[in-house]
Structure 1
């Protein structure tokens, strides 16, 4: 494979320092950036690191390096130096061959397999309620990060650890038993996860009534919470579940089955998938052997009540309980066991946990313990911590039943997309079925793009109305640009790349080719930072550049057939890269809209 211009520039800049100044500069010290718009050029070399070898001013050093590079590399048409920055202008022939020989290739932006295996664990729902807006961000992040890492060359396993046991599950079960009158998804018409979630809310309401009654009898809030009959029954049910009580297990399996059928529909609508499911009901007893191993190694210590702890004060954390005095697990115990189970099963080089930032401390502790235990794979663990999602109306709460339901939100997005599209009057000639597919594509694209364009670490305010805007920094704007390109290609009856060599390029053509050429580098940054936002913002900038090119240059009525053919090739390449970028975000792009 031919060297990229960046690789060639690094090689020749290192050579220039050796020839001009008799010194060796490490290749890692040669850094590039895109040339600022107010200056001539497309690639800028930062000169400052070279001045310690040249012993000259940045301006003189830049001019000497620029002259050397222009003599050595035919594609450098001109250069200028602004302070410590060497701005290089590349020839039109370089950009034309980049399009014709590289960008149009089907494999452009696809990295070779790197031989490494990586697990991305995301979603992790509770089986006592449906998925909500926070889950949507989690699922979209996890899925997109997995797809980006696949494109970057990893063998990726998408995993989902389902929280299918515990007191919260028993609350839904008990409420259904007491107040459900045999209601099922079939009899009620409700999705299974919605039905079970309904009884989680019922439990909470009835529990509060009991607490209030006990408080009126003179008990404190704390006492009433502990003594309310409902919570005691739920605790008994959990003990029965753990003891394998047949009737409780049967009810648990039935209600979880309803929930899984509901989740499956939501996942399908979201467009996410999984290669491996883990269930907490199968993993919650894991980890006790790891605790024993840690005691033998002196990593853990016992207190007088027989509880087991680890001292992490040297790591800037504190003492952490890892096993209760009665021998029962805490969350960290089973997480240690599950981490070992996953590694034993897949031997992955890296493992990413996509979990909200309220769990930052938990994962610091988990990773610190695994490192102290000497687990060779612990260095490959990473917590992709993301911020909360708010709506304009305020923060979500789940227990009161005011949660922003994922299914309702997705339906609202599709309906909003329908209204906006019909307002524009662009679908008059669409068949009804095609219209429904288009509304689904735009609505889900708007939702996904809005949630993924923001850096994962940041908290975000999701405005459904703003997200379905065909002109703003939105998914529909990028989708509309793709459809516009496809319309141009259809009108030209365009079928395949013609690889034309025009005599020269306009600034709009060159800027678009340069942006297209950055696609592999953007994938690399997105993969290294686990940040779909890099690709989302790239797709938006690319769409803006194409629209500028479209408005400034005639395509179908170009003055010359060769120029027309070249601009059609450039349009086809832009459509392909926009589609690939959006697909890595889990977003479809329409052919027409």
Structure 2
């Protein structure tokens, strides 16, 4: 017999047995819902119910008396996995599993199902779009942005293994001033071929162009504000900052800086040129389209290479401009204008999000207090260009033509924009879509002692972090395993370093910031990918050294408390997977991997496997080790981390 979720079989047996006991002992009451929870300590059984506390109020009896009455009434003779049932504490009923039979079920299931063990399929599969990463094609992805693709890819993986039809989308934000700035600089240089990784190349052009254009703008503002002391002081302060930035950039990129400075100086109005390019791109003018798409593609090629290193892929690359050039954005605007939620302020069209929330009675539904006033959303600027969230409304409607559920992995700093987007969908009559739109919010990545600034070009790229992780991993592998060949060391260092970074960005609760330190990321001793990978390799080494498959295993010999706890951990894996998927808790997977590694290492240090007291006990422990290795591999695969056989 095999089971995708052994614990569920035990749970079902307990519920059935207790329901029969209720019908026999208390035939006159309405059959209550039986809720069983896992106990915190195996000494108190494996499942328990507090049912008697509710029944006691109804029947005016003591919970302890009811617990004893129902425990005695349970007939476990027709069930395979129930060893005993006992009343406990102030009125609980505890169910104890038959560990020998349960172990046989678990180990056989893990062996037979192998790479699919634990991945319980949903009975309600959906088409789901997971939109993630979506970094603007302006500069390399930096470590502060790298949490997004790591989370998004993990969510997509677990949803797919749950049986959903998942599509991974990257939304290319190529509309707006920033894209026009980098395209302007790129054109001034004569559209050069990259001399390095293309996103790094584009990033330097963007940073330097931004700086030169901003200084030009502020100098003009300074001249205009000569008669306004307050405005002049403000302009002077900003100009001083940008001049300081320009000195840094000139020192870092002297040839690029001087070339761009010379080329841009020929334009009387660089800001106006950028605005015209931006307007032209949104209007779909061929020259603007060709230029901005070309430089955006260069940057995206670099992104693809970075993401390929960490195993992140996309099924669809969705250009924001495509929604502007087709009638989709204008259709959204027309429909919104027909609602009572649009107002015009100084030539700027705005969506009254708060009015929509109140009129449509949405505040309670969205978890907002009645006094929480949602700020209005600006839809169109005075110059007629649309804003990001306006275009995002059209994009979201498009996504729901291809999916039943949409998950946007976007930083928590965008929570207001995501709320306004959802309210706009309700206002447009897309209530079902709004109900199925999920904003998966996450906190920032911080590096102690380092302040990132895109203005100054101060950021640590994801590529640099990955390179450094691999370098440090190589040093650690060389120290721990000097006998390995250079090729083996480099291979191990690669998957250890890359896995360490992915794991570190996943294992912190999304609501908390990730404090990125190498001491934590590459800790071979606890709570890191290298630690779990090393533990997996240790299990593989034991299996290799054994050189045999355990046969006719007597699972009753696994009698130590620690062994039983490990068996329950393996049985818990499917439940953990279901919870992590249904409630979108990727950090839970890393927590499980670390806890399993901790317990296995304690077991390894306490109880011999290959040199057990007798061969039968050795076979039982070998079967346990093999099952742990399989589940640990499956867990690491969920978060995109390689499970190595050697380290």
Normalized against structure 1, the TM-score is what?
0.91
Please report how far the alpha carbon of residue 551 of structure 1 lies from its aligned counterpart in structure 2 after TM superposition.
1.9
1:259-309 CA distances to partner (integer Å, 9 max, x unpaired)?
12211110111210011110112123533213323444x354454858353
Distance 1:52 1:499 in 2: 50
Please, which of 373, 395, 413 is the counterpart of residue 428 of structure 2? 373
Deviation at 1:69, TM superposition (A): 3.6
Say which SS state the counterpart of residue 455 (structure 1) adopts. coil
**8 Å contact 2:10–2:97 — kept in the other structure?**
no
Q: CA deviation at 1:244?
A: 4.4
Cα distance, 1:205 vs. partner? 2.4
Match status 1:565 vs 2:619: yes
Equivalent residue in structure 2 for 1:115, among 118, 125, 131: 125
Q: Where in structure 1 are there 5+ consecutive unaligned residues? A: none
CA contact (8 A) 1:447 1:464 kept: no
Q: Is the 8 A contact 1:167 1:235 kept in 2?
A: yes
Offset of residue 529 of structure 1: 1.6
Q: Structure 2 matches for 1:70-109, cutoff 5 A?
A: 71=76, 73=79, 75-77=82-84, 79=86, 81-106=88-113, 107-109=116-118
TM value normalised by structure 2: 0.83
Question: Partner of 2:399: helix, strand, or coil?
Answer: helix
Deviation at 1:10? 2.3
Instruction: Quote how far apart the aligned CAs of 1:77 are.
Output: 3.4
Higher RCO (C-alpha 8 Å, min separation 6): 2
The worse-fitting range, judged by mean Cα deviation, of 575-584 and 229-238 is 229-238
SS at match of 2:144: helix
CA contact (8 A) 1:456 1:533 kept: yes
- CA 1:249 to 1:81, structure 2 compared with 1: closer, same or farther past 3 Å? same
- Post-superposition Cα deviations, 1:156-188, rounded to whole Å, max 9, x if no partner, equal 11111111232101211222334x476431xx2
Structure-to-structure mapping, 1:97-176, within 5 angstroms: 97-106=104-113, 107-112=116-121, 114-176=124-186
Is residue 34 from structure 1 mapped to residue 39 from structure 2 by the alignment? yes
* Whole-angstrom CA distance in 2 between matches of 1:552 and 1:272: 39
Once residues 232 and 499 of structure 1 are traced to their aligned partners in structure 2, the CA distance between those partners, rounded to angstroms, is 81
SS at match of 1:88: strand
Q: 1:461 to 1:150 in 2, by over 3 A?
A: same
Partner residue of 1:312 out of 333, 337, 356: 356
> Aligned partners of 2:215 and 2:350: how far apart in 1?
38
Partner of 1:501: 554
Correspondent of 1:217 among 200, 212, 223:
223
C-alpha distance in 1 between matches for 2:356 and 2:333: 15
Tell me the distance in 2 between the aligned counterparts of 1:129 and 1:324. Answer: 26
- Partner of residue 194, structure 1: 200
Query: Once the 2 structures are TM-superposed, how far is the Cα of residue 488 of structure 1 from its aligned partner?
Result: 0.4
Residues 1:228 and 1:443: Cα distance change in structure 2 (over 3 Å): farther
Alignment of 1:111-510 (within 5 A): 111-112=120-121, 114-178=124-188, 180=189, 183-185=192-194, 188=195, 190-211=196-217, 213-214=219-220, 217=223, 219=225, 220=231, 229-285=269-325, 286-296=328-338, 298=339, 300-303=341-344, 305=347, 307=349, 309-310=351-352, 311-314=355-358, 315=363, 316=372, 317-323=374-380, 328-344=385-401, 346=402, 348-375=403-430, 376-424=432-480, 426-428=481-483, 430-494=484-548, 496=549, 498=551, 500-506=553-559, 507-510=561-564
User: Matches of 1:324 and 1:177 in 2, distance apart?
Assistant: 26
Single out whichever of 118-127 and 55-64 deviates more from structure 2: 55-64
1:45 and 1:86 in contact (8 A); partners too: yes
Q: Give, in whole Å, the separation in 2 of the partners of 1:382 and 1:499.
A: 49
CA shift in 2, pair 1:427/1:518, >3 Å: farther
Cα shift at 1:418: 1.2
Q: Deviations over 1:186-231 (max 9, x none)?
A: xx2x111101100111023223433553465362367798999433
CA separation of 1:591 and 1:168: change in aligned 2, threshold 3 A:
same
Please name the residue that 1:549 is paired with: 603
Change (3 A) 1:133 1:231: same
- Residues 312 and 319 in structure 1, CA contact (< 8 A), matched pair in contact too: no
Q: Distance in 2 between matches of 1:50 and 1:396?
A: 59
Conserved? CA contact 1:210–1:228, under 8 Å: no
Contact kept? 2:198, 2:301, Cα under 8 Å:
yes
Match of 2:24 in 1: 19
Q: Distance in 1 between matches of 2:633 and 2:41?
A: 27
Give the root-mean-square deviation of aligned CA atoms. 2.7
- Listed one character per residue, the Cα deviations across residues 120-140 of structure 1 (whole Å, up to 9, x for unaligned) are 100101111110113210000
Q: 1:208 to 1:299 in 2, by over 3 A?
A: closer
Deviation track 1:12-67 (CA, whole Å, cap 9, x = no partner) reads 3333334333323443x513033336x44333323434433453333333333333
SS of 2:15's partner is helix
Structure 1 position 473, deviation (Å) = 1.3
Q: 1:488 to 1:181 in 2, by over 3 A?
A: same
Q: For structure 1, which segment, 53-62 or 362-371, has the greater mean C-alpha deviation from structure 2 after superposition? A: 53-62
SS in 1 for 2:146: helix
CA contact (8 A) 1:291 1:323 kept: no
Partners of 2:407 and 2:99 lie apart in 1 by 43
Aligned residues: 581
d(CA) in 2 for partners of 1:401, 1:449: 27
Deviates more, 1:318-327 or 1:468-477: 318-327
Say whether residues 1:9 and 2:18 are aligned partners.
no
SS of equivalent residue, structure 1 residue 130: coil
User: Structure 1's 70 and 207: CA in aligned 2 closer, same or farther, altered over 3 A?
Assistant: farther
User: Does the 8 A contact of 2:540 with 2:629 survive in 1?
Assistant: yes
* Preserved CA contact (<8 Å) 2:408 2:439: yes
Secondary structure of the corresponding residue to residue 397 of structure 1 = coil
SS of equivalent residue, structure 2 residue 48: strand
C-alpha spacing 1:176/1:374, structure 2 compared with 1 (3 Å): closer
